[in-house]
Amino acid sequence: MDLTKFHGIIPAFYACYDDQGNISESRTAALADYLYAKGVQGVYVGGSSGECIYHSLEERKQALAYAARHLKGKMTLIAHVGAPSTRDSIELARHAEELGYDALSAIPPIYFKLPDSAVIGYWTAIMEATELPFIIYNIPQTTGYTLTPGVFRQLLANPKVIGVKNSSMPALDIERFKSAGGDRVVVFNGPDEQFVAGRIMGAAAGIGGTYAAMPELFLAADKFVREGRFEEAGKLQSEINDIIVALCSQDGSMYAAIKEVLRRRGVNIGGVRAPLEDVSPADAERIDGIAAAIDALALRYREA
């Protein structure tokens, strides 16, 4: 299988709401057009950053359908289908396959702490439900489940497994998964704050929650790594991290801050769904500064 279509910068697609807080097709189209114009390699739809955890099954299907309608054939499409029950996950997986997604991905089961056997059973049931390749999602800080290299190796017995999106903080985990999977897997860097480290340690791609706020910067960082320009990559990573820290330092949630940045960059995708907190009046001025900083860096790295 040609895995190169999964290489590069793959922003996590955000939940796009109308003014009443319902999933909006026209606003999904606006985010889709913006990301297409920036030249990203793909999108990851319906994950953490897509606020999937706060959506009904019907809304999740809508979000997957609207993104596919506006991006199918233009870039690689990955559907996140992890849901509390195996049954709902399978329903989403089949829906994503019908919509023409290129791959599925899922977090492990959440809430109850389940043994490895149940987690493996869950991911395997999703894989068996469609013909699509599958990307395991390891994000221990939110799910409470840590994927070990041993369990990863067991899962690799299934040829549908083509990769792992690793969001644990040690870049070492990326290297260990790549070492276990070799050429048949793509490891996706999770933590945007160490994208450059992840790329150097074995990730051929990144899926990130802040990419869509500043796609130009992650595309430039990726190019620096590909060209072996590690000093420039490291400097840009540091500039990116100043922005991420600022996005995470508002009264509102990081996603609310990002959506305000996007509004200033010409893309209105609404607010965030409670219990995520909206930005405060005091955030507004600081977010003006963040958006201006992103625009200035994007300009500076345009010819990178």
Could you tell me which of 240, 243, 248 has the C-alpha nearest to residue 277? 248
Catalytic site residue 137?
A: yes
Residues 206-235 that bind ligand PYR (CB under 6 A): 207-209
Residue of 17, 44, 137, 211 marked catalytic: 137
The sign of the dihedral angle between the CA atoms of 86, 31, 5, 238 is negative
Which residues make beta-bridge pairs with 302?
none
Query: Which helix (H) or strand (E) element contains residue 188?
Result: strand 186-189
Q: Choose between 52 and 90: whose C-beta lies nearer to ligand MN9.
A: 52
Nearest-approach distance from CB 138 to ligand PYR, in angstroms: 11
Those residues whose C-beta lies under 8 Å from the C-beta of residue 289, and which sit 6 or more positions away, are: 246
* Residues 146 and 139: beta-carbon distance below 8 Å: no
In the shown chain, the binding pattern of residues 163 to 182 toward ligand MN9, with x for contact by CB under 6 A and - for none, equals ----x---------------
Q: Choose between 90 and 175: whose C-beta lies nearer to ligand MN9.
A: 175
Nearest-approach distance from CB 64 to ligand MN9, in angstroms: 19
Please give the size of the binding site for ligand PYR, defined by CB under 6 A. 9
210 counts as binding ligand MN9 under rule CB under 6 A: yes
Nearest-approach distance from CB 42 to ligand MN9, in angstroms: 15
Q: Choose between 52 and 232: whose C-beta lies nearer to ligand PYR.
A: 52
- Single out the segment in contact with ligand MN9 by CB under 6 A; choices: 117-125, 127-135, 154-162, 189-197: 189-197
Angstrom CA distances, 153 to 29, 37, 173, 177, stand at: 39, 38, 13, 9
238 counts as binding ligand MN9 under rule CB under 6 A: no
244 counts as binding ligand MN9 under rule CB under 6 A: yes
How many angstroms separate the CA atoms of 93 and 196, rounded? 31
Query: Which helix (H) or strand (E) element contains residue 116?
Result: helix 116-129
**2: phi then psi, degrees, rounded to nearest 5:** -80, 110
Binding stretches for ligand MN9 (CB under 6 A): 48, 139, 141-142, 167, 190-193, 208-210, 244
